[in-house]
Amino acid sequence: MMKKSFIVLFVFAILANANGFNPQMQQYINQLKTQAQKSKSNFVDFSAKRGEQIFVSEHIGKRGKNISCSSCHSTNLRQIGKNVHTGKSIKPLSPLANAKRLSRVKDVKKWLRRNFNDVYKRQGTAIEKGDVLYYINSK
């Protein structure tokens, strides 16, 4: 009986972290899911595919020019990006190329807030944030 309980808990732990986020980030993802379910009753899960669409779509940004997330980070998230306004280098966004990415919730929240504001001139919704995080984490 004890063995079966352990196996069930082990499988549950794997499934709960199947998307590869560390425990702190998984907790943040779970909070975003709760918010998403409150705003959209038929919400099931975040989508890397929707996240990619958000990431590459262009909008008139806060500086009045067409911009997307990929304008600075490129579409290859394993490469160094470059801020289109300052010319400053940006370390790779992919956690596979930069282990520090998507590791600290405080940093993730800060950059999501800033980047959504820069590109969309507004805060991202819980669904948009989760979708983008799934996309970044998949790269």
Q: On the CB side of 65, how many CA atoms lie within 13 Å of its CA?
A: 6
What are the distances in angstroms from CA 17 to CA 10, 30, 109, 128, 130? 11, 11, 20, 20, 14
pTM of the model: 0.85
d(C-alpha 99, C-alpha 61), whole Å: 29
User: What is the CATH code for 22-138?
Assistant: 1.10.760.10
pLDDT under 50 in the chain at which residues?
Answer: 2, 5-18
- pLDDT score at 105: 98
What's the pLDDT at 133?
A: 98
Residue showing tokens 């995080």: 133
DSSP state of 89: E
Between CA 135 and CA 129 the distance in angstroms is 10
The predicted structure's pLDDT at residue 103: 95
Task: Tell me how far apart the alpha carbons of residues 57 and 131 are, in angstroms, rounded to a whole number.
Answer: 14
Q: Can you give the pLDDT at residue 20? A: 87
3-state percent breakdown (helix, strand, coil) of the chain, nearest 5: 55, 5, 40
Structure tokens at 84: 């289109």
Secondary structure class of 84 (helix, strand, coil): coil
Domain residue limits, the chain? 22-138
Return the pLDDT at 16: 39
> Is 69 strand, coil or helix?
helix
